[in-house]
Structure 1
């Protein structure tokens, strides 16, 4: 983890930065096809903790062709996402970093063969009826 400054909620915050690997596993006998954005793939992820923020990288921000795409996970296989995470800390107040326990969720949008792709996936994540979140196991950072 690295000590840095994170920009979130329209403000700069002191934070610790780390990369968390999260695996999407397919336990079925059929290929799992899902929709995600080609550059801003992180938009389908969220955390269950207020002091843990998902951060966009410079490569995500500089993308000129961010469009929905279909991805697949073969039966018995997994896709691993390396999620950049910022832990908003208490260290700016002279306090020690407190351990964090949280989960990372992925809004999974299954692709149906022949269906039209949405223009932007972010609006799907804001609607309850389409926000199909699968959660990771608990992640502890000390």
Structure 2
């Protein structure tokens, strides 16, 4: 295990929740955490409302794209955070798993995606405080 913790966010389509969580953690961690996201059944593109509400925070998801979940990504991660992918997420012993129950932003307008983003942001900040305790 390297000195830099690695976190993997997984949802079904990797088009909303996991993308927001990865972008927020990457932003707050400022290089102190390795962050990946993936989907058990990746969508064709990121949810446009998700891209819009992240842009409001100055986070650009326009170059991101849904990625398939691989066993390698799970094995590389120290913490795996699932968001409604159920049994599709492979489980490896010795990993820390968290399941964040969050509404799926798919098909929702930006005003309904914003509170999901804000809840993810709150959880990401808590996670970061656990991963990188202040010395």
- Between Structure 1 and Structure 2, the one with more strand by share is 1
TM-score, normalising length: structure 2 = 0.27
Output the TM-score relative to the length of structure 1: 0.26
